[in-house]
């Protein structure tokens, strides 16, 4: 599903990813974790072909990222910060994306699930942060794609929307999808994720289940295990 080999990425003198290797077989929910600035978004954007890698090779759905952009049609992506023109109305944006993608969509169902119908005629610039995030979630979930990448999906969500988001993630998982998610909300990660991918110093420092992480760090609490992993010498 995703194969990253010897990925290097520098911004100026800042070596963000340094010989990063990662294989994710199809199906399941994987949380990409790591301290602020550890390169989670850079890794995700490299997988999406949005960041030009300095060295390495990435394959997504058996296609090389460098040479082929068509694989991106098979990925649903929720960016950490989505930048759509503020004068666009919510309904217009959703229709625009549906027209561009030219695939069947379930936007109507999601509009109701996330209760954004009252906002369809509102301009994006006038929405609250949480409502904007609900719109972005609708955009990310409305197409049927084998790979879903969610960068900080919980940002700004109220409890009702958070429950809805978790339901959507579970539904996609049950359909056999692969879901990559980043989040600093460890309670959310513990509830949804099966696999943990922990980034540190430009590499995958740990890859495994939450149970394996607890065992390796000798911690019974997930939060403490995450803190402990960064101080361990043994790499995954």
Ligand X SMILES: Nc1ncnc2c1ncn2[C@@H]1O[C@H](COP(=O)(O)OP(=O)(O)OP(=O)(O)O)[C@@H](O)[C@H]1O
Positions in the binding site for ligand X (CB under 6 A): 11, 14, 16, 34, 36-42
Minimum CB distance to ligand X, residue 32 (Å): 8
Q: Looking at the DSSP assignment, which residues form a beta bridge with residue 150?
A: 78, 181
Minimum CB distance to ligand X, residue 193 (Å): 16
Coarse DSSP helix, strand, coil percentages of the chain, rounded to the nearest 5 percent: 40, 30, 35
CA 217 – CA 232 distance, rounded (Å): 8
Output 39 or 79, the one with its CB closest to ligand X.
39
Minimum CB distance to ligand X, residue 61 (Å): 23
- For residues 17 and 62, the answer to whether their CB atoms sit within 8 Å is no
Output 40 or 72, the one with its CB closest to ligand X.
40
Output 10 or 224, the one with its CB closest to ligand X.
10
> Sheet of 195-200: strands edge to edge?
75-78, 147-151, 178-182, 28-33, 195-200, 203-209
Output 80 or 170, the one with its CB closest to ligand X.
80
CA 187 – CA 163 distance, rounded (Å): 13
Residue 195, H or E segment: strand 195-200
Q: At 86, list the tokens.
A: 């503020």
Supply φ then ψ for residue 87, to 5 degrees. -85, 0
Minimum CB distance to ligand X, residue 140 (Å): 17
Output 114 or 206, the one with its CB closest to ligand X.
206
Minimum CB distance to ligand X, residue 112 (Å): 31
């Amino acid at each position: 599903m995703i194969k990253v080999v010897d990925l290097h990425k520098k911004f100026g003198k800042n070596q963000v990813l340094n010989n990063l290797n990662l294989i994710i077989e199809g199906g399941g929910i994987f949380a990409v974790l790591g301290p602020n600035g550890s390169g989670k978004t850079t890794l995700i954007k490299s997988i999406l072909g949005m960041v030009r890698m300095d060295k390495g090779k990435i394959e997504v759905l058996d296609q090389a990222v460098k040479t082929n952009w068509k694989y991106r049609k098979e990925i649903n992506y929720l960016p950490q910060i989505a930048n759509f023109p503020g004068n666009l109305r919510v309904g217009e944006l959703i229709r625009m994306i549906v027209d561009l993608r030219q695939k069947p969509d379930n936007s109507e169902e999601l509009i109701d699930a996330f209760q954004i119908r009252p906002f369809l005629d509102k301009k994006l610039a006038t929405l609250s942060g949480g409502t904007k995030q609900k719109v972005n979630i609708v955009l990310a979930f409305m197409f049927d794609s084998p790979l879903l990448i969610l960068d900080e999906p919980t940002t700004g969500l109220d409890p009702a929307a958070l429950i809805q988001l978790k339901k959507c993630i579970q539904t996609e998982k049950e359909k056999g999808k692969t879901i990559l998610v980043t989040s600093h909300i460890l309670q959310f990660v513990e509830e949804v994720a099966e696999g943990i991918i922990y980034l540190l110093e430009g590499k995958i420092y740990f890859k495994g289940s939450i149970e394996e992480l607890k065992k390796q760090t000798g911690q019974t609490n997930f939060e403490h295990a995450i803190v402990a992993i960064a101080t361990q010498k043994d790499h995954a």
